[in-house]
Structure 1
């Protein structure tokens, strides 16, 4: 059961990285420093004060950047590979498996894949918002992404099974929306 819960935690945090790269890492850092969750031994740096200050600075810069018109679209381009890396790191750091190859493999496939899929979905949403509102609707999208990242991160830490169910539903919804976009072209 511990392995299953750790996978749910990692999956929830990595999906949150698809909305914001650094916010889930900051929340995981705070939760780890508070003793609510425990990263794997090789990821003990995640529960340190230097990591807190670095992640806090990066989170503030990232959230602020998403409220600047056209910078938000540039950030989405940069955020896609960054989200995959963050999702991989977050899921790998909490998956409780003794085999490092399996741990990193699951982290990359589950965590990186989930973060990448969510990031692609949010990037498409921002592009649609930019096209239809000339960028005026992007702050609303940014706020929704901030709330989603924060909320899903909290759920992943305190209710990991519910977070995993929500992530699966989100991914299925994104697949359906992308399939509908392909049909309309």
Structure 2
């Protein structure tokens, strides 16, 4: 159960930024005893994987704070973020000594699917909300919202590794935020349609 919570927290974090939870897991496995990756996933803590992840993270951090470019980046990340969520969920579940005898450990594809789903849901909410934020703030909100998302991704990744029980609280807050954003998107689209009809 703890491994599943860890995987879900990291997958949700990947939905906000694909490379933050990847690097958190890679660095934790490389330099601490928090994560011991099994042989199939040891490449995650290799020099080239950490280096590539750092370069991609820097690129993501910059692009995600530029209005209009952030939406294009979100489109590109539609495949990357859910894939990373699936990878990280599977890797951390496989690394758990406690959960290796569980049904999920015997069926590793379940972790991949759950990771893809959780990350994909979070990514979808982020992708839908960003144009609304940009439109409402004439682009000035993009760097602020992006910074908050990066901070949330870091926080959720650390909580998932250090105190996975609290992932439930984090996921609850994230779910509330996604619902709130979806409602805002709906209201914004309705107001735009009303404006179009009124002007016509």
TM-score (normalised: structure 1): 0.87
- Residues 1:15 and 2:24 aligned together: no
Which of 2, 5, 24 is the equivalent residue of 2:2? 5
Which consecutive residues of structure 1, in runs of 5 or more, have no partner in the other structure?
Answer: none
Which range moved further: 20-29 or 163-172? 163-172
Which structure has the bigger radius of gyration? 2
Q: How many residues align?
A: 181
Match of 1:82 among 73, 80, 83: 80
User: TM-score with structure 2 length normalisation?
Assistant: 0.81
Q: Structure 2 vs 1, CA of residues 172 and 40 (structure 1 numbering), >3 Å: closer, same or farther?
A: farther
| Alpha-carbon spacing, 1:101–1:83, altered in 2? closer, same or farther (3 Å) | farther
Deviations 1:87-113 (A, max 9, x none): 0000011113467772122321x2111
Separation in structure 1 between the aligned mates of residue 184 and residue 58 of structure 2, nearest angstrom: 35
Secondary structure, in 3 states, of the residue corresponding to 2:70?
helix
**Distance in 1 separating the partners of 2:55 and 2:61:** 10
Match of 2:107 among 97, 102, 110: 102
Change (3 A) 1:139 1:163: same
1:9-66 CA distance string (max 9 Å, x none): 1111110001111111011111111231122331111122221111111111111111
2:164 pairs with 1:160: yes
Secondary structure of 1:6's counterpart equals: helix
In structure 2, relative to structure 1, the CA distance for the partners of 1:182 and 1:66 (3 Å cut) is: closer
Q: CA deviation at 1:173?
A: 4.7
Runs of 4+ in structure 1 off by over 3 angstroms are 96-101, 175-185
Structure 2 segments unaligned to the other structure (5+ residues) = 95-99, 191-200
